[in-house]
A and B are shown apart, each in its own frame.
Chain A
Amino acid sequence: MKELIRKLSELRGISGSEYRISDEIINQFKAVSDEVYKDNLGNVIAVKKCKKGNAPRIMIEAHMDEIGLMVRDIDENGFIGFVNIGGVDGRILPGGEVIIHGLRDVKGVIGAKPPHLQTADEAKTALKMSDMVIDTGLTSEQIREIVSVGDTITVKGDFRELLSDNVTGKSLDDRAGIAALIKTFEMISGKELNADIYAVAAVCEEVGGRGAAVAGYSIKPDIAIAIDVTHGVTPDNSKNGFELGSGVAIAKGPNLHPLVVDRLLGIAKEKDIKYTIEVEGGDTGTDAWILQVVDEGIPTALLSIPLRYMHTTVETLNIKDAEAISKLLAEFCLRIDDNMEEWLCF
């Protein structure tokens, strides 16, 4: 799981540019799927067929896009101005490294006015994104040959192993979710299924769940389970979070179908899979929120991996929590039986 998360975390594709990484994700799914295809929006859909007539369809889903930046302008000295795609906190950028995806990849550093040229007030205020530039060391002429306005930019955030099975990297939100899907398929391979299982690596979650909406419509699953990350506990966030290593966060609330949730909880208890319960009063801020109201509606659940420092270059999570998700998902898929319609009825 660790190596898979590392590999997926190091891929570079912001919302709208998932085509840069979808081949690799297709490759990862191929070995464990009956069929893998890409839809019109770029969602990668992997299928495991049960080869039974009128079988129920279960969709398990995570998003493959990452937040990032886009080239806004190039000045006469070659410095690159940029805008954000998705929820980027500008405060994480100064002193950071990026890769600009032009005709070829170009490395850069995000600079800002040097401290000794700042006024005392300036030093106390976070820099605005519009006051930052990317420095590639290339001249304006050189950079314009490679990079154009509108090219995408990803932040650098090398993967590192920390203590206690914790790892840190960029885009663990939600590549760790994709890894959990691949591992789930691995776990159910060769086992008898009573449902067709669709694993979706969705595009454009970070800009509003667009990929999930389209995939949900075309697959029309009987049940959809979204896999995402949720906030981890840190010294500056002790109340709104989950401890790393505490297992799967199983969401409850109006966004989630209570009977699907009950079933997941029952399996977790029975199989001794570590879990906690996450309560959301409305929008969960994930693809689950979108999937619930696709077409005529889908019974939806949400499983999350606790993650510290969400939307930074140092996102941190525990490998065991991702593994717990795969175990729970695999067991859930294997247990779909002829009674599903019954237990799914209110």
Chain B
Amino acid sequence: MFLKKLCEFDCVSGNEKAVRDYIRNEIYQYADEIVIDSIGNLIVKRTGVSSKKTVMLDAHTDEVGFIISGITDKGFLEFKTVGGIDTRVIISKRVRVGKNKIPGVIGIKAIHLLEKSERNEVPKIKSLYIDIGASSKEEAEKYVELGDYAAFDTEYEDLTDDLIKAKAIDDRAGCAILMELIKEKPKYDTYFCFSAQEEVGLRGAKIAVNRIKPDIALAIEATTSSDVAPSEEKDYVIRLGNGAAVSFADGATIASEEFYKKLLSVAEEEGIKAQTKAAITGGNDAGAIHLAQGGIKCATISVPCRYIHSPAGIASKADIDSVKQLAGAFLRRIDEFY
């Protein structure tokens, strides 16, 4: 129920305030302690039945996007990307700029004007710009300041009964799951950490974990679902609709073997659909968490998402529910995970 609203916030890394405020207001009633730290992490403590152990659940609030780095004399906006974005998915797309969500577009030279050699070229980010229709630099400056962020302008929509299309499913899906899980009183003191700046290098989680000092941590993420036609089936590391994706390793973390295996066996016992993420690429907050404080036992459960980091991702509501069920089982059966 939170997901649509969450995906509609434009909160690129470093600009998480709006979504953070929304989350805080929605879950305030369940919190025993709330901290917003210097980087913008929202750390919400729910006191457990016992305080013998400390548990951390992590999801990140930020999304990939753009930051305005210049305004040309004619009023076009120069920009840099924030987080990993494939230049090819931003051409001919709509964006919203700044806190007033000024509509803009990322255009491209018309096909009629291209040299033959240009047709197969991916333009460089440096040569692209955002057009807000300003007639001059002066007019643009009335609406946009350098350092303003821009995000994809995408509508959240149901594609089928089960599938949704939206931007920022990575990781608002994780945020939505944490917002549901906090409603149940946990066995041990549990910190629900809504981390900032994951997309620019796991920056928020890196410091949140030092404040929380958990005994065990679980990152709730969205991950690339590669079951799309131009890839070969052998590269289908994750499939949409096959349930919660449990990683044994990615580019930043080798998960505790006993932890992820336990997650898989709990999923099986509880009849929760789960799959292993069979690729060692990408990285998420677990990468920062497991190396902190002399080492913390950490694993990741992810929502499969096709076309992640693009204007229009696709995810399954059933998968999101599976991730929520599995993370919930983790909290309920926490003693089995030590």
Query: Footprint of B on A, CB under 8 Å?
Result: 75, 77, 79, 81, 87-89, 91-92, 94-97, 107-109, 111-117, 123-127, 131-133, 135-138, 157-158, 160-168, 231, 233-237, 240, 244-245, 285, 308-314, 316
Contact = CB atoms under 8 A, between A and B. Distances in A.
6 contacts: A89-B108, A107-B165, A124-B122, A125-B120, A132-B230, A245-B135
A316 B88 contact: no
Given A111-B228, A245-B135, 14 more contacts: A87-B111, A91-B88, A97-B312, A111-B229, A111-B230, A113-B228, A116-B281, A136-B160, A158-B155, A160-B105, A163-B140, A234-B109, A309-B108, A316-B133
Nearest to A313: B92
B1 interface: no
A92 B91 contact: yes
B113 A96 contact: no
Interface stretch (B34-42, B199-207, B303-311, B330-338): B303-311
Contacts of B228: 79, 111-114, 133, 135
B314 A135 contact: yes
Given A94-B89, A163-B133, A314-B92, A231 B110 contact: yes
Nearest to A92: B92
A240 B110 CA distance: 11
A97 B90 CA distance: 12
B258 interface: no
Contacts of B29: none
A94 B160 CA distance: 21
Contacts, number: 210
A92 B108 contact: yes
A115 B86 CA distance: 7
A221 B172 CA distance: 60
Contacts of A244: 133, 135
B133 A168 contact: yes
B133 A166 contact: yes
A126 B121 contact: yes
Nearest to B157: A107
A314 B106 contact: yes
B126 to A, nearest CB: 11
Contacts of A138: 160
Interface residues of B, number: 68
Interface in B13-48: none
Nearest to A158: B94
B159 A125 contact: no
Contacts of B224: 114, 116
A115 B139 CA distance: 37
Given A111-B229, A115-B86, A138-B160, A235 B129 contact: yes
Contacts of B84: 115
Interface in B75-108: 76, 84, 86, 88-94, 102-108
A124 B87 CA distance: 9
A240 B113 contact: yes
B127 interface: yes
A44 B200 CA distance: 54
A245 B88 CA distance: 30
B160 A168 contact: no
Contacts of B307: 95, 109, 111, 114, 135
Contacts of B88: 91, 94-95, 112, 126-127
A231 B153 CA distance: 25
Nearest to B316: A137
Contact of B86 (A89, A123, A157, A231): A123
Contact of A137 (B114, B163, B308): B163
Contacts of A114: 224, 226, 228, 231, 307-308
B112 interface: yes
Nearest to A80: B229
B92 A316 contact: no
B307 to A, nearest CB: 5
A137 B307 CA distance: 12
Given A163-B135, A316-B131, A236 B109 contact: yes
Given A126-B119, A127-B88, A117 B231 contact: yes
A111 B132 contact: no
A245 B133 CA distance: 10
Contact of B110 (A107, A123, A163, A237): A237
Contact of A125 (B90, B122, B229): B122
Contacts of B306: 109, 111, 135
B282 interface: yes
B134 A236 contact: no
B159 A235 contact: no
Contacts of A89: 92, 108, 110-111, 114, 119
Given A96-B92, A116-B224, A163 B111 contact: no
B139 to A, nearest CB: 6
Nearest to A89: B111
A312 B160 contact: no
A316 B120 contact: no
B2 interface: no
Residue picked from B111, B227, B308, most chain A C-beta under 10 Å? B111
A37 to B, nearest CB: 33
A113 B134 contact: no
Contact of B89 (A95, A108, A231): A95
B235 interface: yes
A35 B84 CA distance: 56
B279 A116 contact: yes
A163 B102 contact: yes
Contacts of B129: 234-235
Contacts of B121: 125-126
A75 B229 contact: yes
Contacts of B111: 87-89, 310-311
A161 B103 contact: yes
